[in-house]
């Protein structure tokens, strides 16, 4: 499959391309570079100098853009963060309720005798038995949520 590339060129370039038959790709590249004035650096030191110039330009661009802020257009409203001014962290209602549940569980574990604790652990349904011994102050969900802590308290 051949691809056709069309581009405008003057008569000199056309003649050069038409007359050259051997090593065409190399010739086309050289002819275009010559016509456009592109020269290849021949030594590594020249390449390093070019890279150094490019890096210097990048550094200048980065240095010049540090103070520039991005502009916002359109109907936008900047809302300050509400948490910045608050140094105290207040607990939500759910967190307070969870703390109360944990405290009531701990208190009931302290009040229970060692015989009651053994009876709860040895029963067929220990979670339900624990709720009964607590006089069902705590819900089934709370007991299942904190069961690991309760079990540690019962074994201690």
**Across the 156 residues of the chain, what is the mean pLDDT of every consecutive 10-residue run?**
53 59 55 62 68 74 57 59 61 87 89 89 90 84 89 86
Mark whether 97 and 151 lie in a shared domain: yes
pLDDT at residue number 37? 62
Tell me whether residue 119 is in a domain.
yes
* Domain assignment of residue 24, yes or no: yes
The answer as to whether 140 is a domain residue is yes
Angle between helix 114-122 and 147-155 (nearest 10): 130
List the structure tokens of 5: 């590339």
Total number of domains in the chain: 2
- In order of 64, 65, 68, the CA distances from 71 in angstroms are 16, 13, 9
pLDDT of residue 21: 45
* pLDDT of the residue at 124: 92
- Rounded to whole angstroms, how far apart are CA atoms 86 and 99? 22
| Strand extents, DSSP E, the chain | none
Give Cα separations from 121 to 58, 102, 114, 136 (angstroms): 71, 19, 11, 17
**Does residue 74 form part of some domain?**
no
Q: CA Rg, the chain, in Å?
A: 41
Residue 72 lies in a domain: no
Q: Are residues 150 and 99 in the same domain?
A: yes
Question: Is residue 110 in some structural domain?
Answer: yes
Is 5 among the domain residues? no
In this predicted structure, what is the pLDDT of residue 132?
Answer: 87
77 within a domain of the structure (yes/no): no
Domain range holding 31? 11-56
């Amino acid at each position: 499959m051949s691809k056709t590339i069309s581009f405008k060129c003057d008569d000199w370039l056309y003649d050069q391309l038409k007359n050259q038959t051997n090593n065409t790709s190399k010739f086309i590249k050289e002819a275009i570079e010559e016509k456009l004035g592109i020269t290849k650096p021949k030594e590594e030191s020249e390449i390093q100098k070019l890279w150094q110039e490019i890096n210097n330009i990048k550094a200048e661009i980065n240095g010049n853009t540090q103070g520039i802020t991005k502009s916002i257009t359109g109907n936008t409203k900047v809302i300050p963060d509400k948490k910045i001014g608050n140094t105290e962290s207040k607990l939500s209602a759910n967190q307070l309720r969870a703390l109360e549940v944990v405290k009531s569980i701990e208190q009931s574990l302290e009040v229970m005798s060692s015989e009651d604790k053994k009876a709860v652990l040895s029963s067929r349904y220990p979670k339900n038995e624990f709720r009964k011994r607590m006089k069902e102050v705590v819900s089934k969900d709370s007991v299942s949520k904190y069961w690991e802590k309760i079990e540690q308290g019962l074994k201690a």
